[in-house]
A and B are shown apart, each in its own frame.
Chain A
């Protein structure tokens, strides 16, 4: 076999060829250039893009042997290609246009991605930048269309496509002119004035994400590491009759094969209800195709996969429960001991009979939404590393286990692994890694327990990496729903009664199903003040993949139903649809359908008014169809939708977060919390808040998150809660530290504590000016450790049905979408989206912009492109090639309007934004389709064939 001679980033290599090796594997595993990411291994996502002889290629489908004689450039080699001479050091936002390694200047593309906030989770960024680099080489002055054409298949699930486009335009200009990279100018500061928070700041980790230095779990390698693989049932329902692992065990290179019999302690895991078996044992029930039967650890990934292929399983198949309506029928098989009903959720307000009797108009319609997948570009990966008792924290001579994983709930991972291992939680350390997106899909335990079991048995590090297929097959989805809405209104437009009935498909296991469907139910009457409300939801177990948390948390589905109904009602009543929403909108003083009195922070009317005004600047009669001049078959119109979404867990659950703030000898601070950074920007928020409180530059604050040994519990990263709870924990920890410093210095300098001033990084006391390094020395000399831990507890909430405050804050969002529908083919294009979000206060407007853009794009995908298809329990969409997430080509012009009605208890007034930015998009688009061509979409995703059929049938009549 001949050698591969290739040049990578300017270095010549001669490597022995390895059968079956792709270029991506060669780069990542042999040259350890881990900036090239693997998202799908299907040539679909573009994360693995590198330059081969100057052209961008997907290295995951490029045979390594083909690279013989070629020149390769990866993200790690890009900075060296920076054109010289460099522009003089321009002041930057946060001033970070240097590599994290120090010294080396960034390429203008890398710098522009950082400055424009185009970097969120960062996992796709190497691919984006390499693709953009090749474009600018060929075309130094690209327009928007050129950029979109070049980046068509380089997916970003955080979906900051407008920011990516702006960054490329800015970099192209800098390269052409030699001028510094232009910064974004269209992102306003918060209306609430503060020194640091409320102004745009760069992410602290953005630079390492654009250079390829950022480490995600799969980039880690430990000495003696084994590779794991899971044997999945691949049947949706049945009993495991036999399981033969002997052939797999005897395969050379296999270190361990474990089954349900080897589970040391608790057999099940789960986030709320422990109903999900770690592995299904012989004689036990398989409930979905992704159930684990056995786990293997081997010397290589290939051997592990071969071993899985040698495991033989026999089943006694059972009838498959395919949907939640079927699951509730009499006489069907019961999937769990308690039956198929996970929860019947009820909302009751007023008197329905009276409400409908008083109504002049009553409408009823049923809507359907499919399961959808998070499709984060980074698939799940867990690495478990056994730690001998002499190496770290000696707990009575017991060994420990470190788990490296990108997780939304590190402390929950720790609990769940400990339960199954039968260990005290203190023996587990979860070391959270950078995450390539989460969106709710990295809340449940995936490989953490399996990796820990295998590492414990082999006493070697074990990596369990899901491939895209396993990721699609196994992790919980967005709930598929059926939602019936019945609405009653007076002639003048006042809605007096709203009745909804929801069926939620929670799949084989509970996950967060009960919580998600509760949110779907409580929000199912929309953000409106209605006297009589009744909602019943049946969250049902089925033999489909489990459903759980996904950005929007159930409200995405119910908002589609109720906002479609609002437009239907407006038409029936002959009332303008914005006006109908305006007159029924929740306001300060309203009572929600769960009986909560809204005392503050209801920016819904302002969102409605500002979106309405902005929309009418484009077209004063936005809802009338406009046929194209060139092609009358292309018809445009606008659509409108409103929504609300709780911030925080609510429903009586204690909602806490802990944070440490510590001052170091060099005068810098560190803030620590085990809350998760999944790309949404929490780390930046924590940094800005501490900088604000301590009156220092953000660069003087380092942030450590997601390590259960080193950071206090920040609770789950879910429910748009972290800016609020961990933001507050960071703020109060910093405040407390400041008070302690003031108290100490007051004594020393003989003034009252309130006379100590903290300004621009300097502490002033009685005529003396101390740097924070001085302060550190003073504190230490007084025997005081300048470190504070604060556990923040959000305002108490009440359970559903109690009539009290179910949530401590709500965010509000309104969107208008302009679409173009092709009357012949039914094709739909979204041209413009205007999105207003009441977020209380914009802590970091640059980060917020990314959340708004990404939210719109995820909503657009939910509406137009995404459908997780399961047929009779078998997953059809088991590849990214069959599950379309929107790319840059589908990106409309997005206008973001920030509305800031502060919440008293929020940090500087802030509340959540992660979810609300995504919720109204779908109904805004489907309402626009109706306005354009008169076809009502009541089932997602939008089926262009259905639209075309309705139109030709109408024509034929």
Chain B
């Protein structure tokens, strides 16, 4: 059985949406395809008739500064994201996450769009984008709209995007430049790390991304993302509140961790990790990531 019957190579977003909605049978967009083709081949995905290749669309392969945001097209390979100096300058957590997605060859085709579209609560790219407070641009036949990143997800593996007629075009990451003046010095930094196990499926036991703005010895602002900390990519907003405006000390960290543990919903994943294990090790990971980001903002 053929994995697909018809293969479209549109060169614009509107053409791609048209190809999706006018296909002679079930149609899906394909970016990297490193997951989709395997899902089709292994019968985890219903057969499709038409694949719409997004990698020939210039708008979706752009990586550039747009106003006060860094724009990353959804079809940019993650290896390019990881190597791009703009991403290195403004979103180090994303560089770190992208360098850990799959392996080098897969990263040359795999995309952030695909990483996000699978709606897994612990996908590395997704967790980094969550902490970086990204905004997603979505195109459908009638409209192109921007939505907050976390509203892309409905549940584990359930995306708010209807892949048969909508596309993730790209992501906007707010670029907050460091402010240094005589009276105040606010420095921004981010970090991503994860914990794996060497057996079984290559999904993290836990991953964590932190973005923070540091003003001298205090945390002026902070975003914390943990995966999997619930059915969707989890923002530890209670922990953020506990730290925002506070000095970074053992005490404030301890309060933040308590808040994180109270808010997160750790689950047991068969053959990967028990909820108990995750609760026990999340503190060490969170501390490590926060420490690193904090030091980077020196």
Are A and B associated in one complex?
yes
The answer to whether B105 and A49 have CB atoms under 8 Å apart is yes
The answer to whether A43 and B7 have CB atoms under 8 Å apart is no
Partner of A20, one of B3, B102, B280: B3
Within 8 A of A (CB), among B75-104: 79, 102-104
Within 8 A of B (CB), among A312-366: none
User: How many Å lie between the Cα of A61 and that of B6 in the bound state?
Assistant: 16
Stretch at the interface among B35-43, B126-134, B143-151, B233-241: B35-43
The answer to whether A63 and B7 have CB atoms under 8 Å apart is yes
Partner of B4, one of A19, A154, A882: A19
How many residues on B have C-beta within 8 angstroms of the other chain's C-beta atoms? 41
A194 at interface (Cβ–Cβ under 8 A)? no
Contact with B along A468-496 (1 / 0, CB 8 A): 01000000000000000000000000000
Closest residue of chain B to A949 (Cβ to Cβ) is B277
A582 at interface (Cβ–Cβ under 8 A)? no
Within 8 A of A (CB), among B1-20: 1-7, 9
A948 at interface (Cβ–Cβ under 8 A)? yes
Stretch at the interface among B155-163, B178-186, B197-205, B255-263: B197-205
Partner of B41, one of A2, A41, A49, A309: A41
A633 at interface (Cβ–Cβ under 8 A)? yes
User: How many Å lie between the Cα of A68 and that of B1 in the bound state?
Assistant: 23
Closest residue of chain B to A65 (Cβ to Cβ) is B7
The answer to whether A890 and B198 have CB atoms under 8 Å apart is yes
The answer to whether A61 and B34 have CB atoms under 8 Å apart is yes
The answer to whether B201 and A19 have CB atoms under 8 Å apart is no
The answer to whether A19 and B34 have CB atoms under 8 Å apart is no
Partner of A55, one of B2, B103, B108: B108
The answer to whether A825 and B195 have CB atoms under 8 Å apart is yes
Q: Smallest Cβ distance from A830 to chain B, in angstroms? A: 10
User: How many Å lie between the Cα of A52 and that of B202 in the bound state?
Assistant: 25
B166 at interface (Cβ–Cβ under 8 A)? no
B61 at interface (Cβ–Cβ under 8 A)? no
User: How many Å lie between the Cα of A469 and that of B42 in the bound state?
Assistant: 9
A274 at interface (Cβ–Cβ under 8 A)? no
B273 at interface (Cβ–Cβ under 8 A)? yes
The answer to whether A302 and B53 have CB atoms under 8 Å apart is no
Write out the residue numbers on chain B whose beta carbons fall within 8 Å of the beta carbon of A949. 276-277, 280
The answer to whether B105 and A633 have CB atoms under 8 Å apart is no
Write out the residue numbers on chain B whose beta carbons fall within 8 Å of the beta carbon of A867. 199-200
Write out the residue numbers on chain B whose beta carbons fall within 8 Å of the beta carbon of A43. 34, 38, 102, 105-106
User: How many Å lie between the Cα of A321 and that of B47 in the bound state?
Assistant: 35
Write out the residue numbers on chain A whose beta carbons fall within 8 Å of the beta carbon of B67. none
Contact with A along B266-293 (1 / 0, CB 8 A): 0000010110110011001000000000
Write out the residue numbers on chain A whose beta carbons fall within 8 Å of the beta carbon of B277. 945, 948-949
A66 at interface (Cβ–Cβ under 8 A)? yes
Write out the residue numbers on chain A whose beta carbons fall within 8 Å of the beta carbon of B5. 19-20
Contact with B along A7-23 (1 / 0, CB 8 A): 00000000001011010
A827 at interface (Cβ–Cβ under 8 A)? yes
The answer to whether A63 and B30 have CB atoms under 8 Å apart is yes
The answer to whether A66 and B55 have CB atoms under 8 Å apart is yes
Stretch at the interface among A145-153, A282-290, A375-383, A690-698: A145-153
Closest residue of chain A to B288 (Cβ to Cβ) is A631
B254 at interface (Cβ–Cβ under 8 A)? no
Partner of A63, one of B33, B102, B195: B33
Q: Smallest Cβ distance from A619 to chain B, in angstroms? A: 25
Closest residue of chain A to B99 (Cβ to Cβ) is A149
Q: A42-B38, A824-B284 are in contact. Are A302 and B200 (CB under 8 A)?
A: no
Closest residue of chain A to B51 (Cβ to Cβ) is A63
The answer to whether B281 and A824 have CB atoms under 8 Å apart is yes
Q: Smallest Cβ distance from B11 to chain A, in angstroms? A: 12
A866 at interface (Cβ–Cβ under 8 A)? yes
Write out the residue numbers on chain B whose beta carbons fall within 8 Å of the beta carbon of A153. 102-106
User: How many Å lie between the Cα of A68 and that of B34 in the bound state?
Assistant: 18
User: How many Å lie between the Cα of A302 and that of B197 in the bound state?
Assistant: 37
User: How many Å lie between the Cα of A910 and that of B6 in the bound state?
Assistant: 60
B69 at interface (Cβ–Cβ under 8 A)? no
User: How many Å lie between the Cα of A22 and that of B195 in the bound state?
Assistant: 34
Within 8 A of B (CB), among A83-136: 131
B109 at interface (Cβ–Cβ under 8 A)? yes
Write out the residue numbers on chain A whose beta carbons fall within 8 Å of the beta carbon of B7. 17, 19, 63, 65
The answer to whether B38 and A866 have CB atoms under 8 Å apart is no
The answer to whether B198 and A149 have CB atoms under 8 Å apart is no
The answer to whether B199 and A61 have CB atoms under 8 Å apart is no
User: How many Å lie between the Cα of A561 and that of B94 in the bound state?
Assistant: 44
The answer to whether B42 and A879 have CB atoms under 8 Å apart is yes
A869 at interface (Cβ–Cβ under 8 A)? yes
The answer to whether B38 and A57 have CB atoms under 8 Å apart is no
Closest residue of chain B to A887 (Cβ to Cβ) is B103
Write out the residue numbers on chain A whose beta carbons fall within 8 Å of the beta carbon of B106. 43, 58, 61, 153
Write out the residue numbers on chain B whose beta carbons fall within 8 Å of the beta carbon of A305. 1
The answer to whether B37 and A63 have CB atoms under 8 Å apart is yes
A419 at interface (Cβ–Cβ under 8 A)? no
The answer to whether A131 and B104 have CB atoms under 8 Å apart is yes
Write out the residue numbers on chain B whose beta carbons fall within 8 Å of the beta carbon of A866. 199
Q: Smallest Cβ distance from A263 to chain B, in angstroms? A: 28
Write out the residue numbers on chain B whose beta carbons fall within 8 Å of the beta carbon of A2. 9
The answer to whether B103 and A152 have CB atoms under 8 Å apart is yes
Write out the residue numbers on chain B whose beta carbons fall within 8 Å of the beta carbon of A306. 1
The answer to whether A46 and B103 have CB atoms under 8 Å apart is yes
Contact with B along A268-307 (1 / 0, CB 8 A): 0000000000000000000000000000000000100110
Q: Smallest Cβ distance from B145 to chain A, in angstroms? A: 28
Q: Smallest Cβ distance from A19 to chain B, in angstroms? A: 5
The answer to whether A20 and B2 have CB atoms under 8 Å apart is yes
A941 at interface (Cβ–Cβ under 8 A)? yes
Q: A56-B104, A827-B195 are in contact. Are A881 and B33 (CB under 8 A)?
A: no
Write out the residue numbers on chain A whose beta carbons fall within 8 Å of the beta carbon of B284. 633, 824-825
Partner of B34, one of A17, A58, A884: A58
The answer to whether A948 and B280 have CB atoms under 8 Å apart is yes
Q: Which of A131, A825, A949 has the most CB of B within 10 A?
A: A825
A952 at interface (Cβ–Cβ under 8 A)? yes
Q: Smallest Cβ distance from A334 to chain B, in angstroms? A: 31
A239 at interface (Cβ–Cβ under 8 A)? no
Q: Which of B197, B199, B271, B273 has the most CB of A within 10 A?
A: B199
User: How many Å lie between the Cα of A952 and that of B1 in the bound state?
Assistant: 52
The answer to whether B1 and A149 have CB atoms under 8 Å apart is no
Write out the residue numbers on chain A whose beta carbons fall within 8 Å of the beta carbon of B197. 827, 944-945
User: How many Å lie between the Cα of A884 and that of B3 in the bound state?
Assistant: 26
Q: Which of A41, A65, A865 has the most CB of B within 10 A?
A: A65
The answer to whether B103 and A63 have CB atoms under 8 Å apart is no
Closest residue of chain A to B103 (Cβ to Cβ) is A153
User: How many Å lie between the Cα of A492 and that of B5 in the bound state?
Assistant: 75
Q: A61-B33, A865-B198 are in contact. Are A56 and B281 (CB under 8 A)?
A: no
Closest residue of chain B to A153 (Cβ to Cβ) is B103
Partner of B6, one of A19, A864, A945: A19
User: How many Å lie between the Cα of A714 and that of B128 in the bound state?
Assistant: 58
Write out the residue numbers on chain A whose beta carbons fall within 8 Å of the beta carbon of B6. 1, 19
The answer to whether B199 and A865 have CB atoms under 8 Å apart is yes
Write out the residue numbers on chain B whose beta carbons fall within 8 Å of the beta carbon of A66. 9, 53, 55
A423 at interface (Cβ–Cβ under 8 A)? no
Given A57-B105, A825-B281, A944-B198, 10 new contacts (CB under 8 A)? A41-B41, A43-B34, A46-B103, A55-B108, A63-B33, A149-B104, A153-B104, A886-B198, A945-B274, A952-B280
In the assembled complex, 28 residue pairs joining A and B whose CB atoms fall closer than 8 Å, in A order, are: A19-B4, A20-B1, A20-B3, A20-B5, A43-B34, A46-B103, A49-B105, A57-B105, A57-B108, A58-B105, A61-B33, A61-B37, A63-B4, A63-B33, A63-B37, A66-B9, A151-B104, A152-B103, A153-B105, A153-B106, A469-B42, A824-B280, A824-B284, A865-B199, A884-B199, A886-B198, A941-B199, A949-B280
**Which A residues are within 8 Å of any B CB, using their own CB?**
1-2, 17, 19-20, 22, 41-43, 46, 49, 52, 55-58, 61-63, 65-66, 68, 131, 149-154, 302, 305-306, 309, 469, 633, 824-825, 827, 864-867, 869, 876, 879, 881-882, 884, 886, 890, 941, 944-945, 948-949, 952
